[in-house]
Structure 1
Amino acid sequence: MLISASAVGGYFMAPVAYDPTTFTACLIGTSLMSCSANAFNQWLESPYDSQMKRTQNRLLVTNKVTPLHAFTFANVCALTGGSLLYFGCNPLTAGLGLLNIGLYAGLYTPMKRLHIGSTWAGAVVGAIPPVMGYVAVSGQLDWAALVLALVQYSWQFPHFNGLSWNLRADYSRAGYRVMCVTDEVLCRKTTMRHSIALLGLCSIGAPLLGLTSYTFALDSIPVNLAMCYFAYKFYKTPDAKTSRNLFKYSLLYLPLIMILMVISRQDKVKDTQIASIVPHQHVIAN
């Protein structure tokens, strides 16, 4: 759901008029690509999912779905989603979608058991969906798309670290070398660092590079200061409560920032978009 929401946010940030056909292809295509990546992930990790309480009831682990069915489903979703993005949007969007599946299933998934750097690889994967939405309607990569990617990239760290902190025993039992298991101090520092980076990206990067107006720099300050607050509480006292609060706020942060970005778009196309932006964002966010 968050992936689809970020793609929608990226779509409406592009300085191009809203087109219902392209929007529908982008939303459905991105969702299908996300389903494909997750299916490949669970297909590859099913032997280890059985060792984690969080994942021991997944369909592959409980044999409700066979590995062949999961593999077939992943490929069908990739083919269908890729085709929708290729013909309904443009080849660049489809290429980004396929790249994302490859990075998620081919790099991030196996890397989790090998190296702490998997968290950074996963953040790159998570940064691509808003760019897909932006490119779907604009047909190009530019500095504004880079800012979108960087915001989503930095958001991944407080989001995932807040989630994974209370699951350290699970990850350790399954042999995953994620940051919260391998280096707890680095986990806390990285969370704080990227929460501060979000403040800089929104207050300086977004308006300076033409993604938003300067009103966004002011409007986003309370949202980003709250993220810094929860990250700092986690940094100083890393426990179940502070990590859970950080994770919960990260779920609220992304739709809030996306909505503020759309409202403060530098090059607005109001006549066709204002009536449709807020309803779509509301549906996705909820």
Structure 2
Amino acid sequence: MADDTEDCSFSRQPLQRSGIHDKHPTHEQTKAKQCPENEDIPQNLTLASLPSIYLRLSKAKLTGLVAMSALCGYGMAPGELDLMVCFLMSLGTFMSSCSANAFNQIFEVPYDSQMARTKRRVLVTGLLSRVHAISFASIIGISGILILTSYVNLLAAIISATTWGLYVTTYTPLKRVCIGNTWIGAVVGALPPMIGWAGRTGSLDAGAFIMAGFLFTWQFPHFNALSWNLRSDYSKAGYRMMATRNPDLCQSVAFRHCLFIIVLSFLAPYFNLTTWPFALFSLPLNFTFAYLAWCFYKQADGKTATYLFKFSLLHLPLLMIMLLISKKNLPVAKVFENI
């Protein structure tokens, strides 16, 4: 995804236009400047605490969303359902995403220490060493790609590896360079359904790209609303986001992509991904999303951004469920088709 969905607490502080620092602390300085509120975090690493620490390092909620997106792609693809392949595809995708998110945290320790929502991350607080984190991220990432290559298929593995590469080597450093990082992040978030589709069919067709399109367009209202209320944090850490660099663009892009979701909802039945009733039944959900984005576009503030962000968390799973039950040639879909 474009950014850290699991860290979604909002800061209501006004944007500090001059708050972007030219100098950032080193990793050693970061550890020396621990916040008082972090002093209650145990610094003794135990075997029992490792699983929870690894999940925090892997951004478990975001990784879970990635795996669910891949599952939706697998579910929407044509072909025979193989539960073992489906499980291994999900596992490989989950592990690859864990690795990408871990490397993201490894690279951003000096900047995470300056943001209220990230200053309690495991590397910032010293729960794990950098070497330990790199070892974990490397082993789980390689293992995930090997699972996809050996037990799913090569195409699914290639797409997963591409997702990892874009997130770690392009999106992560680009966040400090230009606002184009949001589009790269949206591409990263759009690829998991294609992993699932490829895992079931061994190929990609129009349906795979429509599924990816839904994820790509959804991320703009979701992340732009999230970043609006975190502008002060992003500015302090030196991240270049639409919300801080071009607020008008941030608002218009969010609304524009909500309209694109409506278009995609009509393209889905046109390309035989779903039955035609899906386009009709999804309209109330999509229009509500677009209305909230319109309110954000007309008057962006903490209230409209919060409403849009919270509804985005409801919109995506509901849309995915509607897609799955409206899938072409699915028995339940034929019931709706006869209405």
Given the two structures, how large is their TM-score scaled by the length of structure 2?
0.78
Per-residue CA deviation, residues 183-239 of structure 1 (Å, 9 max, x unaligned), is 00000000000011001111x211112211111111111110111011111111211
How many residue pairs align between the two structures? Answer: 270
Is 2:219 the partner of 1:126? no
Structure 1: give runs of 5+ residues left out of the alignment. Answer: 272-286
- In 1, Cα distance between equivalents of 2:186 and 2:329: 28
What fraction of aligned residue pairs are identical, expressed as a percent? 46
Q: Which residue of structure 1 aligns with residue 122 of structure 2? A: 59
- 1:130 deviation in Å? 0.8
CA distance in 2 between partners of 1:137 and 1:199 (Å):
27
SS in 1 for 2:116: coil
Corresponding residue for residue 220 of structure 1: 282
Query: Could you tell me which residue of structure 2 aligns to residue 239 of structure 1?
Result: 301
Alignment of 1:205 with 2:267, yes or no, is: yes
- Cα shift readout 1:42-76 (whole Å, capped 9, x = no counterpart): 01111110010110000010111111111111111
Paired residue for 1:148?
211
- Structural mapping, 1:1-286, within 5 Å: 1-202=64-265, 204-268=266-330, 270=331
Write out per-residue CA displacement over residues 124-149 of structure 1, whole angstroms, 9 at most, x where no aligned residue.
00000011111111110111101011
User: 2:104 is matched by which residue type in structure 1?
Assistant: N
How far apart are 1:267 and its partner, in Å? 3.4
Structure 2 segments unaligned to the other structure (5+ residues): 1-63, 333-339
Displacement of 1:243: 0.8
Give the SS at the match of 2:304: helix
Q: Separation in 1 of the partners of 2:170 and 2:316? A: 25
Q: Structure 1: which 4+ aligned runs deviate by more than 3 Å?
A: none
Structure that is richer in helix per residue: 1
Q: Which has the larger radius of gyration?
A: 2
Could you say what secondary structure the match of 2:284 adopts?
helix
Q: AA paired with 2:93? A: T
Cα deviation, residue 79, structure 1:
1.0
Deviations 1:90-143 (A, max 9, x none): 011011111101000100000000011000010000000011111111110111
SS across alignment from 1:82 = helix
Q: CA deviation at 1:173?
A: 0.5
Alignment check: 8 A CA contact 1:165 1:180 kept: yes
Give, as a single letter, the amino acid of the residue that structure 2 aligns with 1:209. Answer: F
Separation in 2 of the partners of 1:141 and 1:75? 28
- CA RMSD of the aligned region, Å? 1.3
Aligned partners of 1:5 and 1:255 also within 8 Å: no
Are the counterparts in 2 of residues 163 and 243 from structure 1 also a CA contact under 8 Å?
A: yes
Matches of 1:67 and 1:148, distance apart in 2: 37
AA matched with 2:308: L
User: Greater CA deviation, 58-67 or 236-245?
Assistant: 236-245
Kept after mapping to 2: 8 A contact 1:234/1:242: yes
